[in-house]
Structures are given as C-alpha cells and as structure tokens.
Amino acid sequence: PLIPMSPCPCGPMPPVPKPLCPHAPPHPHAPMSPCPHAPMSLGWGDTALCPPAPTGSARPPGEKTKGMMGVSELLISTCVQCVLFSLLSAQPLLVVGFSGPLLVFEEAFYSFCTGNGMEYIVGRVWIGFWLILLVLVVVACEGSFLVRYLSRYTQEIFSFLISLIFIYETFSKLVTIFKDHPLKRHYNVQATAKPDVPEPNTALLSLVLMAGTFFLAFFLRKFKNSAFLPGRVRRLIGDFGVPISIFIMALVDFFIKDTYTQKLNVPKGLEVTNASARGWFINPMGKNYTFPIWMMFASVVPALLVFILIFLETQITT
C-alpha cells in the first residue's frame, strides 16, 4: 500500500520565479537565445534622442543662439555623452539628451550675455567647467539619495513642465510662420517682376504637417490596444508611433515641391553651424575680447541651475 508522505517541517516550497524575458534560458548555464528586445531598445533609444537634438522642441537651437550652438554641435555632443554614459554608468537605456528646459535656459543665458556685452559661447564653456565639478562632488558624496525626498507630485509637476514647454514652442513657431506668411484675400504684386510676398501655402502646409504628425502619433499609440493585427505587431507600431509619424510627414513634405517650408540649417560635413563666429575649440579667456574674471566665478550659479535640471530629468522623469 502507498504510505502518505508527511508534510515538510520547513513549510511549502516557494514557487519557481518565471524569467522576465520569454526568451531567457531555463538554467543560468544554458546557452542564451537571441532576445529581440535588445535591438528594439536600441532603436527606441535612437529615435528618442535624435529628434530633440536637431530640433530643440519646435525651434532649432541655432535659432535661439544665432548659430552659436546648432544642430551639428548638439548631435555630436549627444552622441559622445550617450556613448560614455552607456559604457560607464551601467544604465544604457537611460535617456540623456537635449530637452525643453535646457532650451529655455540656453535662450535666457544667451539674452543675458548679449545684453551685458559678453560672449555667450565662452560663458557656456565656464558653465561646463563648473558643471563637471558639481557633478563630481555630488557623485563622490552619493547625492542620489536625495531622490527619496522627492514625491510623485514633484515628478508629475516636472514632467508637465517639460511637456508644456514643448507644446508652447510648437504653437509659438506656428504663430511665427503665420506672421511671416499671412493669409490674405488679395496680394498687390507686379506681373513684370518675380513677386516677393509671403506664401500663404507655407503657413497652411506647416499647420497640416504639425497636426498630421500629432494625430498620427496619437492614433498609432492607441493602435497598441486595438484588436487589429497580432499583438507583437501592434506593440511594435505603438512603441515606434512617434518616429513613424515623423517619417511619414517628412515624406509628405518632401514630395510637395511647389510649397516652401522652413528646413533645418545643417552644414555639410563635420562643421560648426556658424563657422564665422566660432570653431570647435573655444578659448576660455575670450575670443574677440577678454571674458570678465568675475563672470568666470559667477558662472557657478547658472551651472547649478543646469545641474538641477539634468538631475531631475535623469532621476525622476526618465
């Protein structure tokens, strides 16, 4: 006869945890199968970092700083810092790039420097020096523990601020386009010369491209929870809805040849945006005239503000 087993004195056996990745091996020493999430994460990181760098929300950074810090500089700096951050910080999926609050800071600091007769790009160099020092001190003191004092309310407020800046800059740029190319019922031009008047189709096409990008990205995001197509395909389309919508609207703008739309001012090759005003290497003492000594030390104040922005972005909003 079968003898019933007595219950284990140590209690019931704990359940075996399931692997986080469905493609993970059942045993730690078993051969690892290729996981499709790695290339997807790489593609998502590229699409998340590349568009903000050249565009700077809705207005190009070179437009805010008169070409002192444009598309080439931001793309190269974003590439270098992301490579170093991924290799040394053990957090390769953390997004570190140009964002709306940094764009507002650059505009404010450029206005301050030009209003006081100082070179903006030299002041930006000293802000970078102080920023390196602040980051080293905070890392040495393990300052990341300060995140425990930040509530979910703080995170939502800062995320809302970033989104609000992007939305404001988008509509501000659209209003500027409508002012430069107003819609009128009649234009007074001469038929004997080439008309030099605003093009109303430019404003209308800019509005269509902006609205089309938003609504297409919105509906592709909602498509993830629909009942069409297999689940993996829906998730793939939903996760990459924003770059897909940008690509489609860029193609629409490319094939419309008879209407002018503003494009990014990107130099050919590895060149700075405004080669007549600056080079790749900046003299910390000043290029055209000597940079004030007191401003070299006072740059710690804007550097502290930039550090707070970067700290909040990387710690609570990413």
Top-confidence residue, 33 or 218: 218
C-alpha 139/C-alpha 311 separation (Å) is 11
Residue 104 maps to a domain: yes
- Residues 212-245 pLDDT 10s: 888 888 888 888 777 777 777 887 787 778 788 8
Burial class of residue 252 in the structure, from the number of CB atoms within 10 Å of its CB (0-12 exposed, 13-18 middle, 19+ buried):
middle
Residue 262 maps to a domain: no
Range of the domain at 299: 41-158+288-318
What band does 92 get if pLDDT is binned at 50, 70 and 90?
A: low
- pLDDT winner (highest mean) among 55-59, 127-131, 139-143, 177-181: 127-131
The pLDDT of residue 57 is: 42
Residue 136 maps to a domain: yes
Q: What is the mean pLDDT of residues 46-70?
A: 59
Residue 239 maps to a domain: no
- Residues 162-215 pLDDT 10s: 778 778 777 877 787 777 777 666 666 555 555 555 566 777 888 888 888 888
What band does 90 get if pLDDT is binned at 50, 70 and 90?
A: low
The pLDDT of residue 14 is: 54
Top-confidence residue, 48 or 175: 175
- Residues 247-270 pLDDT 10s: 888 888 888 887 777 777 676 767
Residue 240 maps to a domain: no
Q: State the SS3 of the chain.
A: CCCCCCCCCCCCCCCCCCCCCCCCCCCCCCCCCCCCHHHHHHHHHHHHHCCHHHHCCCCCHHHHCCCCCCHHHHHHHHHHHHHHHHHHCCCCCCCCCCCHHHHHHHHHHHHHHHHCCCCHHHHHHHHHHHHHHHHHHHHHCCHHHHHHHCCHHHHHHHHHHHHHHHHHHHHHHHHHHHHHCCCCCCCCCCCCCCCCCCCHHHHHHHHHHHHHHHHHHHHHHHHHHCCCCCHHHHHHHHHCHHHHHHHHHHHHHHHCCCCCCCCCCCCCCCCCCCCCCCCCCCCCCCCCCCCCHHHHHHCHHHHHHHHHHHHHHHHHHC
Contact call for residues 66 and 119 (beta carbons, < 8 A): no
Question: How many structural domains comprise the chain?
Answer: 1
Q: What is the mean pLDDT of residues 115-136?
A: 85
Residue 64 maps to a domain: yes
Residue 272 maps to a domain: no
C-alpha 289/C-alpha 273 separation (Å) is 22
- pLDDT > 60? residue 140: yes
The pLDDT of residue 214 is: 86
Residue 225 maps to a domain: no
The pLDDT of residue 50 is: 61
